Structures are given as structure tokens and as C-alpha cells.
Amino acid sequence: MEPRTGDDKAHLPSPTLWPIGFAIGIVCVLVGLIVSWPAVAVGGAIVLLFGFLWVRDLSKGKSDAEPPPPPATPAVATNVDPAGMPEPAPGERFPRNKFLEFSTLGLGAVIGGLVTIPPLGMLAASGFEGAKFQPVDLGPLSTFPEGQFIITTFVEDPHAGEVSRRTAYIRYNGLLVNQPSFTILSNRSAHLGCPVQPNGPVAENQSTTKENRAGQEVLKKTPAKPAGFGCPCHGGQYDTEGNRTAGPPVRALDRYEYSIVSRNLVLNKPYSVGHVDGTGANATIKAYPLTGPGQHVDGVESWLYPIQPPGR
């Protein structure tokens, strides 16, 4: 048996932290695909930086490696091995161990791609799929008395049925610059999305049910003027403009855009609200793109939350 010469130690790469940074970058990319595209960009930059540094160190280690010393006892030259096969030519460019190494790495990369790329692609695409809001015809303006809230439930998508039923609190504020003004609040709490209820009696005996022109069922209930709205789940409280007055909600109630078509009120897509100054037709609304319950839309806190994917 030949004595060990220490060549193995000479060719071992030096310890480095670059692989750890590379792994952290991969994690940032994967998490970013779920929560935020800027996080994907940051993760990609980390992967490129630490990957470059890692490869550079490996390349430098190979170039600086000392050539192995000659064997202590030179081997006896022979042209034929015991099995009768000639020896490989000196200076072989692709040794067997290198071939096996690259084959294993390549096969692992192919398997990893087949396993990870499809689900990651579906995950990334789902962020752009958001369902588009279908405008809802809520009927004639005359069915909304001035200064009184009407609890209005509607089926957003007739094909989906009751699963798409939504509720809005609608108040006609009168005319503003000769145009009808409405306050339309979503009943989705800005805390965790629970349905908020009016803090006041509801005139159930005045409820009306009908279908609009598109065949969407619209159920209207006329309550007494509520003092505000409350969440029965976690105690969040809102005033009649939807502003948070107590409890855990982080912002005001969401609102709906609307339009007037042939003297009918048409409900359009929802949006989020940070705060409302003033009341009724004279209110100033700090509006933002629709975001999920529990997310801040203004102030320093909003910087800590991920950007919403398109279509939410």
C-alpha cells in the first residue's frame, strides 16, 4: 500500500460562508413569490452576489492548488493491465470521476427543475389571476331614501350563486354638484374580514327582494339610522362613515365605486380606505387599491406589508 502524501488536503476548498448567503437568497426568492415581487428581486440579487463569490472562491482554490508531489516509488510501466486492457492515454481530458460528477449534478438539476418549476409557475401566475368585479345594477335611485342606510345584499356572480353573495351598506347623501352622491360601505371588517353589523334596529318588515336586469337577485333591507357599525367577532367599531372608532381594525371599512346608469345605481369594484374626513356628500376619502383585511394602507406601518399582486 502506498503511503499517504497529504494531496487530499491540498485540494480541499477552504471554508466559506458564501453557500449560506446563496441559500438565504433562494429562500427569499421562494418567499417573495408568495408575498411580494420586490422580495423576489432582493432574493435574486442575493443569489447572484453570493453565487458569484462562491464560484470565484472555488475557482481561486483550484488555481492556487499546488501540484501533487511525485510518488515515492514510481510505478512500473506496463501497456496491459491484468484484465488485458491497455492503459488510458496519458493526459486524458475527461476522467471518469469528472464525468460521473457532472452527470449526477446535471441529473439532479433536471429533476429539481421538473419538481419545482411547475408549482412555482402556478404560484406566480395565481397572483395575476384575480377575479374581476362584475358591475351590479341595484335598481332605481328612488329606492334609496336620502339620509337613510339600506342594507343591500347581492349576488356578484350569477354563475357562482350564493357563494358570491355580498353585502353593502348604502346611504343616499343627496345631490353634489347636481349629481347623486352615495356612501357605499362594505360589510367586510378591516380587521380579519368578519361581517360587520349595524349598531341599531333593522326594519325587517320593510325588506324587498327582486331581480335586476341581469337576473341577479338583490335583497334590500331598510334599517333605522345606525349609530355606527360593529364587528361581532372581535369587537371592532366603526362610525357611519366607516372610520374605525375602537377595537383592532387597522383602517376604515372598504367602499365601493358606483355609477348612475339610466337613473339606476350601479355598483362597481371595491377599494380600501385609510380614513374619511367629513361626512356624506362633503366627505374627503383617502382611497387606496383594494387590500386584504388587517393590512395598513397608509403611514409607516404600510411599508412593512407586502405589495398586493395585480387583480386583488
pLDDT at 127 exceeding the cut of 60: no
pLDDT at 56 exceeding the cut of 50: yes
Return the top range by mean pLDDT from 113-127, 197-211, 273-287.
273-287
Q: Average pLDDT in the 144-167 region?
A: 85
Q: What is the pLDDT of residue 67?
A: 60
In SS3 terms, the chain reads as CCCCCCHHHHHCCCCCCHHHHHHHHHHHHHHHHHHCHHHHHHHHHHHHHHHHHHHHHHHHHHHHCCCCCCCCCCCCCCCECCCCCECCCCCCCCCHHHHHHHHHHHHHHHHHHHHHHHHHHHHHHHCCCCCCCCCEEEEEHHHCCECCEEEEEEECCCCCHHHHEEEEEEEEEEEECCEEEEEEEECECCCCCCECEECCCEEEEEEEEEECCCCCEEEEEEECCCCCEECCCCCCEECCCCCEEECCCCCCCCEEEEEEECCEEEEEEEEEEEEEECCHHHCEEEEECCCCCCCCCCCHHHHHCCCCCCCC
Q: What is the pLDDT of residue 274?
A: 92
Q: Average pLDDT in the 108-135 region?
A: 68
pLDDT at 116 exceeding the cut of 80: no
The rounded percent of the chain whose pLDDT value lies above 90 is 28
pLDDT at 304 exceeding the cut of 60: yes
Residue with cell 488555481: 63
Q: Show me where the domains of the chain are located.
A: 15-67, 136-304
Question: In this structure, what are the phi and psi dihedrals at residue 186, rounded to the nearest 5 degrees?
Answer: -80, 150
Backbone Cα Rg of the chain: 34
Considering the four listed CATH numbers 2.102.10.10, 3.10.180.10, 3.40.50.1370, 2.60.40.1080, the one that applies to the domain covering 136-304 is: 2.102.10.10
Q: What is the pLDDT of residue 255?
A: 95
Band of the pLDDT at 55, cuts 50, 70, 90? Answer: confident
pLDDT digits (tens, 9 = 90+) for 168-191: 999 999 998 888 999 999 999 999
Band of the pLDDT at 311, cuts 50, 70, 90? Answer: very low
Q: What is the pLDDT of residue 110?
A: 77
How far is residue 221's CA from residue 13's CA, in Å, rounded to a whole number? Answer: 75
Q: What is the pLDDT of residue 257?
A: 94
Which carries the bigger pLDDT value, residue 162 or residue 3? 162
Strand partners, 208: 220
Which amino acid does the sequence have at 147?
Answer: G
Band of the pLDDT at 310, cuts 50, 70, 90? Answer: very low
Q: What is the pLDDT of residue 184?
A: 95
Task: Lay out the sheet containing 197-198: strands in order across.
Answer: 197-198, 229-230, 237-238, 244-246
Q: What is the pLDDT of residue 260?
A: 93
Q: Average pLDDT in the 266-287 region?
A: 92
The rounded percent of the chain whose pLDDT value lies above 70 is 71
Least confident of 24-33, 81-90, 137-146: 81-90
Return the top range by mean pLDDT from 28-42, 62-76, 133-147, 239-253.
239-253
Return the top range by mean pLDDT from 112-116, 207-211, 272-276.
272-276
Which carries the bigger pLDDT value, residue 245 or residue 39? 245
Least confident of 8-22, 25-39, 261-275: 8-22
pLDDT at 250 exceeding the cut of 70: yes
Which carries the bigger pLDDT value, residue 63 or residue 10? 63
Chain-wide mean pLDDT for the chain?
Answer: 78
pLDDT at 312 exceeding the cut of 50: no
Q: What is the pLDDT of residue 231?
A: 93
Residue with cell 337613510: 148
